Amino acid sequence: MMQPYEPDHSTTIRILPATEEHLPALAELAGIIWRQHYPGIISDAQIEYMLAKMYALDTLGEEIRAKGIQFVRLLAGGRFVGFTSYGPTSEPGVMKLHKCYLLPEMHGRGHGSSLLQHCARAARKLGTRRMILAVNKQNTKAITAYHRNGFNITESVITDFGEGYVMDDYVMAKDLFS
């Protein structure tokens, strides 16, 4: 069981790659974050359903091995407190930010922006000209953070996620070479 994060002014922040060996901890952290953040945005039943689908170890491993998705961990004082993932899309020059999550007590410290900037730098090195993401329309805190980091809403989409659940999202984009 993960211990709660206790801030310390001397805490060192590190952004490191996540490999398949880190996936169990990543799935555990996702569960903690989703169960704290998403109530009131989506139902508890949808939270559990989506966690089971998106964070199954087989699913995460397949994303790394077959889909070219890169996972990145954020460590604060050596503790795993956030992560992001990004990967190619079918559109040349466009990278998708798939996940960007921090423990709620880590919000407001610039760590999410650090993760986004890390992903943008990595994408630029690969010649990516644009980064896109999908965010729940009710997730105003994330939308505000993405706006602060140069992303703009480009469209509204509703995606069937199965079992009667949908993802009611905005697609946001950021040009990386402007």
What is the pLDDT at residue 11?
75
Model confidence at 7, in pLDDT bands (50, 70, 90)?
very low
Q: Into which CATH architecture does domain 13-128 fall?
A: 3-Layer(aba) Sandwich (3.40)
Q: Looking at residues 115-135, what average pLDDT do you find?
A: 96
pLDDT band at 178 (very low <50, low <70, confident <90, very high): low
Averaged confidence pLDDT in the chain: 93
Is pLDDT of 5 > 70? no
For residue range 90-115, list pLDDT tens digits in order.
Answer: 999 999 999 999 999 999 999 999 99
Domain segments of the chain as ranges: 13-128
pTM: 0.91
DSSP string of the chain? -PPPP---TTPPEEEEEE-GGGHHHHHHHHHHHHHHHSBTTB-HHHHHHHHHHHS-HHHHHHHHHHH--EEEEEEETTEEEEEEEEEE-SSTTEEEEEEEEE-GGGTTSSHHHHHHHHHHHHHHHTT--EEEEEEETT-HHHHHHHHHTT-EEEEEEEEEEETTEEEEEEEEEEES--
**Separation CA 95–CA 92 (nearest Å):** 8
Six-digit token string for 74: 């954020």
pLDDT of residue 177: 85
Q: Take residue 158 and report the two structure tokens written for it.
A: 């509703």
Grade residue 54 by pLDDT with cuts at 50, 70 and 90.
very high
**Residue 6: what pLDDT?**
45
Give me the pLDDT at residue 2, please: 47
Percentage of the residues of the chain whose pLDDT score is greater than 70: 94
Whether 39 and 138 have beta carbons less than 8 Å apart is answered as no
Reference 100, options 160, 151, 46; nearest CA is 151
Flag whether pLDDT at 3 surpasses 60: no
Is 60 exceeded by the pLDDT of residue 166? yes
